[in-house]
């Protein structure tokens, strides 16, 4: 049994980049990508932390990425999806059963979480923390994080949206 004391919830990393895949990353995206990688590395070193990940991929795209990545891509989506594909595989490698991934357009629901939760994971909702972050802070990162906290029975006072690890529509004055 793995006793989990904290769930990290990374929601739609690089989502903003889907709208302008050929353009350079904005400064904040570059910072966030580095911070997310560091955070994932820390999770790997902390056995009582699990990561719940919401990808920008559709599951069939992920499963067939080897052949899809060879197709012509005039819009540049493969640039973004390749980064997400690499991040997901890295998480699977270093986190093992402490990594649960969901694919677009899956929404956070109690049924989805129960199906994805490995049987060896055990946690006490009253003593477990949850932290959400990703893109966009005011939309999916915060709202989905709260829904997951609810579905897992984690107390409201044990949940935080990490703004320093999230891309904000308003703070960054983003336009899609």
Structure-block tokens of residue 20: 């302008």
**Lowest pLDDT segment from 73-77, 91-95, 103-107, 160-164:** 73-77
Has residue 175 been placed in a domain? no
Has residue 56 been placed in a domain? yes
Has residue 109 been placed in a domain? yes
d(CA 58, CA 106): 9
Number of domains making up the chain: 1
pTM for the predicted model, two decimal places: 0.89
Residue 116 near residue 100 (C-beta atoms within 8 A)? yes
Q: Using a pLDDT cut of 70, give the percent of the chain over it.
A: 86
pLDDT over threshold 70, residue 74: no
Has residue 172 been placed in a domain? no
pLDDT over threshold 70, residue 30: yes
**What is the residue-averaged pLDDT of the chain?**
87
Give the pLDDT mean for 2-15. 95
Range of the domain at 111: 2-165
Has residue 135 been placed in a domain? yes
Residue 8 near residue 43 (C-beta atoms within 8 A)? yes
pLDDT over threshold 80, residue 39: yes
Residue 69's DSSP bridge partners are none
pLDDT over threshold 50, residue 152: yes
CB-based contacts of 161: which residues, under 8 Å, 6+ apart? Answer: 131, 132, 133, 137, 141, 142, 145, 146
pLDDT over threshold 60, residue 61: yes
pLDDT over threshold 90, residue 72: no
Residue 63 C-alpha from the chain's centroid: 18
Has residue 35 been placed in a domain? yes
Which domain CATH number covers 129?
A: 3.40.50
Q: Please tell me which of 11-25, 34-48, 135-149 the model is most confident about, judged by mean pLDDT.
A: 34-48
pLDDT value of position 176: 45
Q: What is the DSSP string of the chain?
A: -EE--EEEEEE-TTTGGGGSTTSPPPHHHHHHHHHHHHHHHHHHT-TTEEEEEEEEEEHHHHHTHHHHTTS--TT-HHHHHHHHHHHHHHHHHHHGGGEEEEEET----HHHHHHHS-TTEE--GGG-EEEEEEB-IIIIIHHHHHHHHHHHT--GGGEEE-GGGSB-TTTTT---
Give the pLDDT mean for 22-35. 86
Question: What confidence tens digit (pLDDT) does each residue in 100-130 have?
Answer: 999 888 888 899 898 899 999 999 999 999 9
Q: How confident is the model at residue 9 (pLDDT cuts 50, 70, 90)?
A: very high
């Amino acid at each position: 049994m793995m006793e989990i004391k904290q769930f990290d919830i990374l929601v739609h990393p690089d989502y903003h980049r889907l709208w302008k895949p050929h353009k350079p990353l904005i400064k904040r995206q570059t910072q966030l990508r580095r911070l997310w990688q560091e955070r994932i590395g820390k999770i790997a070193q902390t056995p009582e932390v699990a990561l719940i990940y919401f990808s920008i991929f559709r599951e069939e795209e992920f499963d067939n990425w080897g052949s899809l990545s060879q197709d012509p891509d005039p819009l540049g989506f493969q640039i973004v999806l390749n980064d997400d594909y690499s991040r997901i595989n890295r998480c699977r490698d270093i986190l093992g059963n402490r990594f649960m991934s969901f694919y677009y357009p899956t929404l956070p629901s109690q049924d989805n979480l129960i199906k994805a939760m490995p049987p060896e994971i055990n946690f006490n909702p009253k003593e477990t923390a949850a932290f959400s972050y990703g893109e966009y802070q005011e939309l999916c990162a915060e709202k989905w994080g709260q829904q997951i906290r609810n579905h897992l029975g984690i107390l409201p006072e044990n949940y935080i949206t990490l703004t320093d690890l999230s891309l904000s529509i308003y703070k960054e004055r983003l336009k899609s």
